[in-house]
Structures are given as structure tokens and as C-alpha cells.
Chain A
């Protein structure tokens, strides 16, 4: 399609045509910066206004001309529009029949047009699409807003800031393909316009354009070439960067940058691709569901101390851990997780950092030869192997059951389920027997359990029985915090919300024929029980099953009656050990790893392990010493989790999203197990 020219005097016609029955978003000056927002008239465009940006500094300036698009990106982006900082996911309310109903809250966005999007901005939408639309599931609220972006006019950037590096990132300043309907380049006299879609061509037809004069064409190309040269700074090579960053996890630079970083989270807020979120109960008085309660999703930063925190443990306890998480994710593991870098080179994080930390400068410093901070001496020499981007993008190919093959819609709304009965296991653990109307979980998968007004928690399925029209699930829960304590206090007949099943379960098919060693610690027996039941019931497929169960004290052992029935099977051996006991206890005393070194482990065994992380690490070492290689061990990991489908970013562990890539992992996938800060 040939280019056309829209003279500056006619910009109003462009604004009017875009606003025809649509909401229009475009650049305007607000609070001392050029930000994206509702645009009603061409006069609101930042005419004659440019900016100066450097690490920690942003200032508007008078350009001395009448350009409307002569600036570099400001602190906001289209992220706020597609993924608002705060939004309600669902309401829980009493229905007429007295039961709890969960009602999805979904936006009905009006048709929206965009004027002035930059190439980096469009690339950022592409990155967020991979998280919210093309992941293991697709988020209908994001999707609806995305679909409502009907008409996009991109204006290619000819005024990059000193902080920009879209050329290095390969995202700009030119807009490629059909990322926008109409592509514009601003020259002194107006806009050179080129339609990239039919929609764009129709829009172009409605505008009072003329042919592009030869010198206007030359001017546009010259300015674009200059911007390309400027943004190809050559300071950061994206190719191979994930591997180089993960090879530099012990670099002394992490300590240096952590000393400057305020952990304020500005960088993640302004970044157009950062997607982490929190979910909280709002509009509720604690306790019974009197009125209604809502679950609200809000942006969360990986710099907050809550981001990775779990009950009793915080894998990323220090600012150093969090800065390393941000940088290695953004520029590194994003590629394995979503098939693209998380950075589009817009420079916002650098400009808006109050400490003036320059992302490129940090990445460059880490990119050089590793100056060890000394912590490498703790024996973690094994390199972190990043998963192939393709296998992460197509999780259906991976071992073990998965909740879905193709992205299905996941609206994060629970379905109502009922507690049929309760078994008290120990002083703080109960098993809920719940009637659910969802899909039956595979052993090792988990559900998200919700209590309106209180919260939601991921809980492994510890038993399943399928029936016509419903599934009865067992959930063994230890009351440690607000949600789990409320769950363990439910009475028969109580209602709760259920989502799932989610995640990758135990690889039962990979165990067939081989001796199977199962090591469980504490409540870690719960996620294993489904697998154990399957092995106990199928001696022809699993002829040699050895169970090792550890607990704090005899009274903390789960399922003692059921254990006795396992022992009755001749293909099953069971050894139980506790940390403390009275002399009346006839079983073992001592840590579970001591049982494993007593020649109890056949070398060709396959092992399943679940328990506290430290117990799993030592168990894994003991298994390795007994001849069970890492590719024959599977562990199940626990990390903070809000969504369970890769939208909330909370369950990161190095390159992995635990909800999606796990929770069951083969040991050789977990190079970072036991390493501080992940």
C-alpha cells in the first residue's frame, strides 16, 4: 500500500475519525509528563513538547517546533488499559437458595482506538499477550480489553530518549508487520501514513490526505534511520543473555546494586510488560458471608517482601534476591517461560528509578567475567540449565498430566463445592472430604480452595474418587495461616469455592516396572497419597514399592490406619521414622535420610519425594549417593501462588513458574534447589 500524507492542519480529522464511535487513547501532558489517556481533541496532543530522560530523571522541554509526537515514552503505557492496576475478579454472594454463588466480574470495554503508540509499546502488548492469552490459559478480562482495541495508529519514534534501547532489543523504532493498522512518521509538515491492515486502509481513505512529497519521504526515512542508530546503543546484546545472566548468579554486582536499590518497585510499575499481581478479599467483613465479598486483583512488584513469601519462609528475603529475580526474569528466564525477552528496551525502569539504577548498565556489568561475591563457595557449582523456550511454550509435550493442552479460558472464578465429612488427622491437620463438580485431579495436582471474605490457598489433592456427575476429593490441610486455619475449622455441610485441578502431577507412567522409592516428610505425605494408592493397587505394574515416611512425632503421622492396609500388600515395604518419641514408640527415631543410606535403595529405583524443602534436598542427596540419578527423582515444590495458571507471577523459582511447570519437577530441572534467594 502506498504512503499518503496528512498535513499538520488536518490532524483534527484523524482524531475525529478515530473517535467515531470509539474511545480514543493518545498522548497528552498530565502531571508533568506525557502519559497515555483519553484524548478528545487534537489540541490536547503534546504539541511542541518534548522530554529529557536520563537515569532517575525525566523533564519536559519546549521543543521550539509544533511537533505533536516529538517525545519518547512516558511513565504510562497501554498496560494500565489492558491490565488495570486494580480490578474485581468475582463476587461471592448468597443466592436465593441460601447457597454461596461465585459470580464472575468481567469488563465490557467499549471499542477503543489508539493514536501515537510506539513500536516498543506494541511489542510490550505482544509480550503481555503471551502471558495472558497464549500461556497455559487465557484470561478473559485481559482478552476482552485486548479485543476492544480496534484501531491502532502507531507513530514511529524519531525522538528517542537517552535511556531508550529499542534498537538493541529489536523492537523499534520502526513498526514491523501489522502490529498497528496505520503506521505514521511525523515530519515537519505533518504525518507520512501507511496502512498495514484493511481497517487502516479504510481509515486512511476517510482522511484528507495527499501524496507524499519526495523530500517528505526523505525526511521521514532520515529521521527514522537516525533514531535506529541512536537506539542501537550496542551496550546490551540480547542474544544469549539469559544463559549469561544465569551463569552470573554469584556475581558481586548483585550486592552492589542491592545497596543502591530502594526496593520501591517503581521499575516494575512503569515497565510495560511486568505482570505480577496479588489477589485480596475486599468489601467484606470477616467471618460469615453476610453481604457479599469480592476478590480483587492488584498489581504486585517482585520488589515487595510479600511477593514470594510463604507461610514461615521467604525464598527471596533480601533486596539482592529481589533485584536478581527482577533482572534474571526480565532479561533471562522470560525467554524460557514465554518465548520472548521481557524487555522491549523502552528505558522506563531506568528513567523512573529514584536511585537512577540503569538496567542496561547493571546487565552489562553482570555480563562480563564473573567476579564472585564469595558465595559461590557454598558448593553450587552446577549451572542452571534454562528450559528450551519451545518446550515451555508448549507444555503439553512435557511429562506428566497437565490440566490442559491448548489455552482454555481461565476466569479465576471458583465453583461451589460442599464439605461432606472431616477427618481430624493430627492436632493441626484435617482432611476435608469435598464433593466437587469439576474434573478429577491426577495424583500430584492441586486445587485452589476459596473461602469468601477470607482468602484462597493452593492445596494438593490427597485422594480422588470419581462418580457419575461429581468427584469426591480429599484435601489434607495443615492450619498455618488465615485461610488454612479457616479451612481446617469447616464443618460437614459447609460450602467452599474450588478451582482446578492445576499443575503437573507425578509421572506414574515413568515408574512402571522399576522399583519405586517414595519419601514423604510431614504433611508431604498428602500430595503423595494419590500416587501411593495407585502403586499399591497395581502390583503388576509396580512390583516393588518402598515407602519411607518421616514425621516430627508419632502423633503427627498422617493416615496411620491406611498405612496399615498398605503394609498388608506384599509388594509394599513401609518404614516410618520420627524426630522425637517416647521410649514406648517401637518404630524408628531419626531423620528420614538415615533410612535411605542403609542399602535400602536399589540402584535402578525411581524416587518420588515430598516434604519440607530442606528435607527434600537432603533426601535427594542421599538418593543420589545410593545410586539414584537426578533424572530418576521427582520432587514437588511449593511457592507463593495466587492464580495457579501463570498469570500472577508469584510462584517463580529461577526459570520456572511452579504452578505451570510443576509443582512436580524432575530433580535435574531444579538446579536452584537449596540455593538461597530463589
Chain B
């Protein structure tokens, strides 16, 4: 299913992009629907696409040698999924839909090319991803503090 600029503009961070830029991103974006429990990608997979969650819950898990697989983060409405796509790196975590989930999928190579050619869009997209990663880093620090643990 193709996506209209309006849909993209409803996400904070993209809302202020000029209409032509939104239209260009929309042209490389499609909407996907996943059933509960479907695997979206796996840790170690080759670089893939970038997603925005429209609706639903997505669980990220990572394998830790000797400690098994651990759920590290749950993402939901409005959040960015799979930011490693922007770095063309293999997937750092596996993603599974916990509920029925609607995603916007952005073709990563096309998006990177657009960013390259149109620095306004490039700056905005990178800023958006950077903010998301910074938030997660901060949250991870709190998680590491183990604030509820036995001190």
C-alpha cells in the first residue's frame, strides 16, 4: 500500500518538512500490516529498511552468549524501528510484533540517496534518528542503573 504525505506529516519530526520533501519520502514508503507474533527481522540480518510504527507493539530481543535471549526494549506507536538501516549495518537486534502491527516501511537505500541529494531532508531524517537513538541511550543508562534492584 502506498503512503500519502499526510500520513508522514502526522509524525512529529517530519511534520515541518516542506511538502515536496514529504512527497519524495512518501514515494519511497509503503504501509505494511503484520500479524501478532510475526518476526520482522532477526539479529545479524543484512542491512534492511527503516520503519515507523503506526500502531502496535514491537519487541526487540538480543542474544547474549551464555545468557540466552533477552527482551531489551518494546517499541510502539510513533516510534522508529530499525535505525541501523541508516548506517547500512546488519541488524543489532531481532524485532517481533507482539500485537497486530501497522508499519510504514521506508526503502533505506532510496532514503539515503534522497538524503544525499537533498540536504534539507537529509538533515531532518538524521536529526530524527539521532534524537531517537539519544533517547534510547539515556533510557538504557537508567536500565543499567538497576534502580529497582537490591542496592
Contacts and interface: CB of A to CB of B under 8 A. Distances in A.
Interface of A: 311-313, 428, 480, 521-523, 550-552, 556, 577, 579-583, 585-591, 593-594, 597-599, 611-612, 614-615, 618
A593 B78 CA distance: 16
B145 A428 contact: no
Interface in B58-80: 59-61, 68-74, 76-79
A309 to B, nearest CB: 12
Contacts of A614: 142, 145, 147
A589 B73 contact: yes
Given A550-B148, A586-B98, A612-B148, A579 B143 contact: yes
B139 interface: yes
Contacts of B69: 582-583
B148 A551 contact: yes
Nearest to A427: B150
A552 B72 contact: no
A593 B135 CA distance: 10
B53 to A, nearest CB: 10
Contacts of A480: 150-151
B126 to A, nearest CB: 20
B139 A590 contact: yes
Report which residue of A579, A581, A586 has the largest number of chain B beta carbons within 10 angstroms of its beta carbon.
Answer: A579
Nearest to B75: A590
A311 B143 CA distance: 20
B142 A615 contact: yes
Interface in B13-30: none
Contacts of B135: 594, 597
A551 B142 CA distance: 12
Contacts of A611: 147-148
A581 B148 contact: no
A612 B78 CA distance: 28
Given A480-B151, A581-B71, 12 more contacts: A428-B150, A550-B148, A552-B146, A552-B149, A580-B70, A582-B69, A588-B57, A589-B59, A594-B135, A599-B77, A611-B148, A615-B148
A594 B138 CA distance: 10
A614 B78 CA distance: 27
Centre residue among B69, B98, B142 by max chain A CB count within 10 A: B142
Contact of A618 (B61, B96, B142): B142
A220 B71 CA distance: 84
Contacts of A428: 150
Given A552-B146, A589-B59, A614-B142, A312 B73 contact: no
Contacts of A591: 139, 142-143
Nearest to B143: A579
A579 B69 CA distance: 14
Q: 5 smallest A-B Cβ distances: which pairs?
A: A312-B151, A522-B148, A552-B148, A588-B74, A612-B147
Given A521-B147, A589-B74, A612-B147, A583 B139 contact: no
Contacts of A612: 147-148
B74 A577 contact: yes
B135 to A, nearest CB: 7
Contacts of B76: 588, 598
Interface of B: 57, 59-61, 68-74, 76-79, 96, 98, 135, 139, 142-143, 145-151
Contacts of A311: 151
Contact of A556 (B143, B145, B148): B148
B58 to A, nearest CB: 11
Contact of B139 (A552, A556, A594): A594
Contacts of A552: 146, 148-149
A581 B150 contact: no
A672 B142 CA distance: 20
A625 to B, nearest CB: 11
B71 A589 contact: yes
Contact of A589 (B72, B142, B147): B72
B139 to A, nearest CB: 5
A597 B13 CA distance: 14
6 contacts: A311-B151, A521-B148, A580-B70, A589-B73, A590-B74, A594-B139
Nearest to A552: B148
Contacts of B147: 521-522, 611-612, 614-615
Contact of A579 (B59, B68, B148): B148
Contacts of B98: 586
Nearest to A551: B148
Nearest to B148: A522
Given A581-B71, A590-B74, A313 B142 contact: no
A651 B73 CA distance: 37
Nearest to A588: B74
A582 B146 contact: no
A588 B57 CA distance: 8
Nearest to A594: B139
Contacts of A580: 70-71, 143
Contacts of A587: 74
B93 to A, nearest CB: 11
B143 A583 contact: no
B88 to A, nearest CB: 26
Contacts of A594: 135, 139
A633 B68 CA distance: 40
Contacts of B150: 428, 480
Contacts of B70: 580-583
Nearest to A580: B70
B55 to A, nearest CB: 12
A611 B79 CA distance: 26
A152 B68 CA distance: 77
Nearest to B144: A579
Contacts of A583: 59, 61, 69-71, 96
A597 B72 CA distance: 18
B30 to A, nearest CB: 24
Contacts of A550: 148
B115 to A, nearest CB: 25
A579 B146 contact: yes
Contacts of B151: 311-313, 480
Nearest to B69: A583
Contact of A582 (B71, B79, B139, B142): B71
Nearest to A613: B147
A359 B135 CA distance: 46
Contacts of A589: 59-60, 71-74
B103 to A, nearest CB: 16
Interface centre among B78, B135, B142, B148 (most CB of A within 10 A): B148
Nearest to A614: B147
Contacts of B71: 580-583, 585, 589
B84 to A, nearest CB: 18
Nearest to B60: A589
B63 to A, nearest CB: 10
B74 A593 contact: no
B122 to A, nearest CB: 25
- Best-surrounded residue of B68, B73, B77, B147 (most CB of chain A within 10 A): B147
Contacts of B142: 591, 593, 614-615, 618
A599 B11 CA distance: 12
A583 B70 CA distance: 6
